[in-house]
Structure 1
Amino acid sequence: MIKFLDSRLAGLAAWFARRTNFLTHPQAGRWSMLVIPLLLGLLSLASGQDDGWDMRNYHLYNAHALLNGRIGFDFSPAGFQSYFNPTLELPYYYLNQWLPPRAVGFVMGLLHGLAFVLLAGIARQLLGAAAPRRTVLLLAMAGLFAPGFLSELGNTMGDNLSALPALLSLYLVLRCWDALPQWCASVAWTVLAAGAAMGVSAGLKLTNATYAVALCAALLTVPLAWWQRLRLAFVYGVGVLAGVAAAAGWWFLKMWQTFGNPLFPQFNNLFHSPLAQEGGVIDVFFRPQGWVENLFWPFIFAFNTRRVSEIPLKLAVWPVLYLVLAASLAVWLWRRRSAAAAPLPAPRIVFLLAFVAIAYLVWMRMFSIYRYLVPLELLAPLAIWLAWQYIAPQAQRVAGVVLALLALAVFPIANWGHAEWAEQAFSAEVPAIAQPADSIVFFAQPDPPSGWMATFLPPATRVIALGTGLPESPAWRARQLAAIAERPGPHYLLLSAARNDRDGTRLRKLAFAQSLGWTDDAAGCNKLASLMQHVRLQVELRRLPSGGCTFDLLPQHRIDLAAQDRTTIAQAADRLQQYGLQLDAASCVTQPAAIGAEPRPFLWCRVGLRDRTAAR
């Protein structure tokens, strides 16, 4: 049946071969490694300014806090994420200091595009020198059609960037594969370097420790004597530890000295810092429940992506990969039953498939948060191709069509939030603080996050977040109250103001009409009115007494922002009372702020001290 289907695809394969014949050129590899990262840089540029939740919460703030001596001075403006290793945030932070916003977006996309270079290298090592150049490049390109990778392209979430050293680690192991049995100094150093690259990936983003564990375990499949395999895994593990120490050791030491827990506030069940609650991983919401979910998890989250992701991604690749890996195991068992020595796939391929399988299992049990799967989803098409090669080596056209369909199935790509570009990436008009060294700015709103706003406050002003995501222990609460008592004030509260998500679109349409001069006088407004009879602009034209006009939202899209702000202020007042603070609701004013061209207004309120016994 499979061979019949494969033969029916011969015409399609011939047509596709003609269309991609340029990939057989001797220089195709070099050109693709230059052009594809550039194209991804342009795609990032077209996507707009990063306006994701995590960026607004901690990606910008953490680098700012590190470089301005605010670690331990502020109290968790970005919740528990305030204490993540900020090394990964530094490139974006510095790029914004040196380059215009659009250039920053392009550079970030280009950096993420380097994944293609590594995927091509990995594919070449696995397919062998005799494999057609076009096949290698197409498999590397197929890896880029990954929903998680594309959803984060050019943004600051770190999964794409930290995937690069993880892929480099895999490439280095495969590069020295044939020399592993000899075990000379150069091989040992290469394995050590591969481990260090993986350690850097894990040090930059601790969730990548999944891949360090998986690759170390996969090395035990190398066809060597058992003690040689253990030696290989041990040297690789030493490299991992060295890489983690290089990328994160300084941060662990700082956290230990400041808070008594190198991973503060997580895994406090191991380190027992009095400043955090006892507990392990804080975010365990996405894990599968029960043996049925554990067994069929790829199918469950492919049909209900909210089980593993906050945004709707197209995850069809995972059921396919799961089935192909299971089928390859079943085929091997069947052949073993029929023959005394059933052939396995090439050892390199066994190693890769073992790495993929182990990494998936560790990810599922530890986190099950989809964005942590970026390195695996980049490798998924290659793994499917290689596993299918073992199952049905005479029917590779079927695998090619499946991979093409999976590449198309990821569209449209959801993303984590983008804004239109502006001359400034971040802007805010914070009222003057008369006595910054005596003042505290409080955050009391877990969502929307306000961490990025802390970067606009005076250096001497302390930022204290109250119940915004860090599980508070009695010692942490006592330290907060002591810090509040040290400063006489005046104190302030910063809250995100209510906003209508459709208003940004209205403002962009208005700006375009203004650039054409159509809102200045009655003649221009008449042109707009005529246009709106034929084109649905999803706005309402309102004439102004001056003779000009403006756009308003349609009635069904309007929101009572003032009422929402009153609710937000009342909720914040209740929270502040728990800390012995009194919010002056009448003092609250709305101030402008923006990320790119997207308005992000905030509320600025006065705060006073109540009776100290009111704090609890």
Structure 2
Amino acid sequence: MDRLVGAAPSAPGTVGIIASWRVFAYLSSTLAAVAWTLYAGKDLNWDSLNYHLYAGFSALNDRFSTDYFAASLQGYLNPYAHAPFYLMVQAQWPSWAIGTAFACFHALNLWLCYELALTLIPGPARTKTQCTALLGMALAALNPVFLQELGSSFNDISTSVLVVGGWVALAKGLHRPSWQRWALGGLLLGAAAALKLSNAIFCLASAPMLLFLTSGAERLRYAGVLCVAGCLGFFGASGPWAYRLWQEFGNPYFPMLNEYFKSPHLTSAPFKHLRFVPESVVDAFLRPFQMAWPIADVHTEPRAPDIRYATLMLLIPAWLFLNRFRVSPAGAPQIPDTAASFRVLPAVVLSVCIAWILWLWTSGNSRYFLPMSCIAGVLIAVLLVNVLRGPRAMAYAIAGLLGMQALNAYMSPSRWTPAPWDDQWFDLQIPERFQTAPYLYLSVSSPSLSFLLPYLAPGSGLINISGTHILDPDGANGTKVRELMARNRGRVRMIAEVHLVTRDGAPAPAITDYDHRLQKFGLRVDPADCAYFRVIGDFYSVVVGSSESSPHPPPAKSTGDTYAFTCGLHPLPTVDRVASHEAQEHADVVFNRIEDSCPDFFSPRRPVTERKNMGWRRIYVNTDTQLWTYNDLVLALRYPIDSQPVYLGKMHDWGQKTQSIDCPKRRAPFSERASFSEKTPQPLRRAANVTPE
């Protein structure tokens, strides 16, 4: 059996040597992960404020009867992976302790990379084998995307542990075929897909490993084990939440897959974020090399240059060629050490290539490729050993790779939104009024501020009516919102974040703009009943408080301070509702015609139209695009492609008939001729200072 799996029989002392190397690998990777986390600081990124804490809160507290789209669309994704974050915050752990706990768990990715490397390298536990495994760990860790998430509340890196663990189990199942290993791999991969649906592609990509088993009977038997275990893992980790979503929306995977389940609470158009998806085969082929450039928004939002994928793209063909034609010094063809070694490495390489293709097709966002990015580091180390035989060439290659990746990590931001470690993750001081009296808050900003809910009075609720996803005042959305407002009559308030400050340091909320967003539900702000939640340093530290007798807060400590602003609400006069409805109908005609001119670009089609500032807007989440109006002008803005709004014509002209526009590629500027120029109307220049959310 030892000969079959490519492992040398254990010699005296070998077990102790292996254990010593393993302890060193595990301990050093964990200490390095903790040290990096403490150095990088706390990450108060947009996602953590919008839904990370709320997701954990909702996993342990049924929020379906009190909230509605509280954290926008993300609030209904499987929340169980965020439950540990909520529990640590609720227990008032120091922020550094929470980060350390995350770092220790995330370090399991590196432990598993070490085990995978040993599985891919046949033969005895020699020093060279162990050093190759350690190199694989180092290359897995020196990934800017991995380092940016290490010790943070992102669940990409947390669920990656399950994916990498599943692949290690399957790789070991090729070495020593047993139903237990294939069952473990299926359970882990199924659970990973349940906790984060983007991990489903790694389940599909692992299936070709079955082809490398030695007989048809084995393939059939272990395929059944893998499928059954995968289903058990998936439904075990998603079943309770999926059942509640089915009860509430008629879609167990809401908001995903609604094109099939067609819940009335959301559009039936498919959601597919296209920002990082290649537009052509050539673009896909060049992606590994594009990822090496130190610029943002190539394969993930922050700057994260990475040469490992280009290296792997060059190593795989070289390995295939040399494995086929390399000869020994005597001129005889080189024979693989064992049948097992011939099976496992090609199986993992093929599966990673399939995962790469599926990833580019579905998202192209490197945050959703973290498991394979870890495995890619292992493959580079193992393939280098197979391709480069000379010690000098090997030393140069290793030094160059490690040096370049260390430089890439240095050039990348350590955190999305870095913050210093302090006593608590969210340092809140909430007045007794908000701790004892429950309110229904209508959030009209992005992020939704759902992270405040666990600190408010029991029974408080939140509806994010305007943010990345705008709720329709009609249909199922309107019915649910009005039902919750009726249940909380006299206790309904709006809440929004405020970035602007006046010269004396006080926040300058645009109450008129809030009225515009609330009017679709027949409400307006009561300026006599307002309070401020001061957020120091862009959510670095949150102090909730205001004078009970005055809405004016203490002066801001810096111009970077952010505030949450909450006010009571009054019914909107009927005459204002009628005028607003007529104006919206005109904007709908214009927006619909623009959508029809570029049907593949503006998606999903026919989103809700919302009043914004001095005009109207629509948000197209698939392409990060907004259409909006400013007086009689029609503007488009795509984040992050367009640095300023693009002029598409006048509302009057579009209202008469469809105008001619050039439909752009998703990753190219909208139109050079449509950008700001001397011929651009003067009011449009002023619109450049009005940036949509």
TM range (shorter): 0.7 to 0.9
Is the 1:143–1:379 Cα contact (8 Å) retained in structure 2? yes
Shift of 1:391: 4.0
Is the 2:159–2:195 Cα contact (8 Å) retained in structure 1? yes
String of CA shifts for 1:229-251, please: whole Å, max 9, x gaps. 34433321222111111211221
What does residue 441 of structure 2 align with? 441
Equivalent runs, 1:42-441 vs 2, <5 Å: 42-98=35-91, 99-130=93-124, 131-132=126-127, 133-180=130-177, 187-220=178-211, 222-226=212-216, 228-303=218-293, 304-329=295-320, 346-394=342-390, 395-412=393-410, 413-414=412-413, 415-430=415-430, 433=433, 439-441=439-441
TM-score (norm 2): 0.70
| Aligned CA distance change for structure 1 residues 25 and 461 (closer, same or farther; 3 Å) | closer
CA distance in 2, matches of 1:612, 1:236: 61
Kindly report the root-mean-square deviation, in angstroms, between the aligned alpha carbons of the 2 structures: 3.1
Task: Give the AA of the match of 2:68.
Answer: F
Identity %: 24
What does residue 458 of structure 1 align with? 457
Shift of 1:393: 4.1
CA distance in 2, matches of 1:100, 1:88: 20
TM-score (norm 1): 0.78
SS at match of 2:508: helix
CA distance in 2, matches of 1:264, 1:26: 46
The structure with the greater share of residues assigned to helix is 1
Shift of 1:438: 7.7
Equivalent runs, 1:524-539 vs 2, <5 Å: none
Task: Give the AA of the match of 1:41.
Answer: V
The answer to whether 1:584 aligns with 2:577 is no
What does residue 489 of structure 2 align with? 488
Mean Cα displacement is larger for which, 432-441 or 582-591? 432-441
What does residue 565 of structure 1 align with? 508
CA distance in 2, matches of 1:302, 1:242: 39
| Aligned CA distance change for structure 1 residues 251 and 129 (closer, same or farther; 3 Å) | farther
Shift of 1:388: 3.8
Is the 1:255–1:264 Cα contact (8 Å) retained in structure 2? yes
Is the 2:170–2:185 Cα contact (8 Å) retained in structure 1? yes
| Aligned CA distance change for structure 1 residues 65 and 25 (closer, same or farther; 3 Å) | closer
What does residue 21 of structure 1 align with? none
Higher relative contact order (CA 8 A, sep 6+): 1
Q: Where do 5+ consecutive residues of structure 2 fail to align?
A: 1-16, 543-560, 582-693
Shift of 1:318: 1.9
What does residue 515 of structure 1 align with? none
CA distance in 2, matches of 1:172, 1:561: 62
String of CA shifts for 1:426-467, please: whole Å, max 9, x gaps. 133445558988842110112x44121222222222211112
Shift of 1:277: 0.7
Shift of 1:566: 3.4
String of CA shifts for 1:304-361, please: whole Å, max 9, x gaps. 541321111122222222222244456568789xx9x997872211011112111111
Is the 2:56–2:83 Cα contact (8 Å) retained in structure 1? yes
SS at match of 1:261: coil
Is the 1:219–1:229 Cα contact (8 Å) retained in structure 2? yes
String of CA shifts for 1:508-533, please: whole Å, max 9, x gaps. xxxxxxxxxxxxxxxxxxxxxxxxxx
Shift of 1:281: 2.8
SS at match of 2:254: coil
What does residue 645 of structure 2 align with? none
Task: Give the AA of the match of 2:90.
Answer: Q
| Aligned CA distance change for structure 1 residues 577 and 84 (closer, same or farther; 3 Å) | same
SS at match of 1:349: helix
| Aligned CA distance change for structure 1 residues 261 and 64 (closer, same or farther; 3 Å) | same
Q: Where do 5+ consecutive residues of structure 1 fail to align?
A: 1-23, 181-186, 501-558
**Number of residue pairs the alignment of both structures matches:** 525
Task: Give the AA of the match of 1:268.
Answer: N
Shift of 1:25: 9.4
CA distance in 1, matches of 2:18, 2:219: 40
What does residue 524 of structure 1 align with? none
Is the 1:443–1:465 Cα contact (8 Å) retained in structure 2? yes
CA distance in 1, matches of 2:397, 2:166: 27
CA distance in 2, matches of 1:318, 1:153: 20
String of CA shifts for 1:367-401, please: whole Å, max 9, x gaps. 11111111111122221233344444445345423
Task: Give the AA of the match of 1:610.
Answer: L
The answer to whether 1:608 aligns with 2:570 is yes
| Aligned CA distance change for structure 1 residues 366 and 463 (closer, same or farther; 3 Å) | same
